[in-house]
Structure 1
Amino acid sequence: MDRVITAELLDSDQGTPQEISTSLADIHRINEWFGGVATGVGMMRQVARMTGGSSFSYLESAAGSGDSARSMCHRLERDGIHLQLTLLDRAG
């Protein structure tokens, strides 16, 4: 199979609102299923342990809809770790 290079839907300001919404939902599912959220949670738990802190600022660029960062935030709240989220993206 030959590789076909095309512009990414979310980076090209093309696509219908439904296509963009579906793409963002797909990205969130991939992050949930393949460990992106769990990895981020684990890293923030380690930072909290190492610093003794419980409240942190968290900046995510290319955040899409922000679902993954919000999932991290909810999971960490159960451990008493609070994230103040700042999410940046062109889409979402």
Structure 2
Amino acid sequence: MIIKCPYCGPRDVIEFVYQGDASRTRPEPASTDQAEWNRYVYDRANPSGSHREYWLHSGGCRQHLLVVRDMSSHAISSVSFARENTSSGDRR
């Protein structure tokens, strides 16, 4: 799989580290709600179709990226810097 880093250009997936589902909302760090943290850590969907993911370009520019990838075909439709797509209410 080739990921087109916005800074470095097209690179093989071996240069990247998958960092998780970008569509999930992390509980407040100070939260002591055990059920909420259990849902965040353990409950996972297995979507088919387009999906937002965080990736780290560990073998290149070291930037965190937001990748939109089709889970069935692994075709990547977009790649952008994660910092450009994160609002204050959209936390990992």
The two structures have a TM-score, normalised by structure 1, of 0.22
Structure with higher Rg: it is 1
Q: Larger strand proportion, structure 1 or 2?
A: 2
The two structures have a TM-score, normalised by structure 2, of 0.22
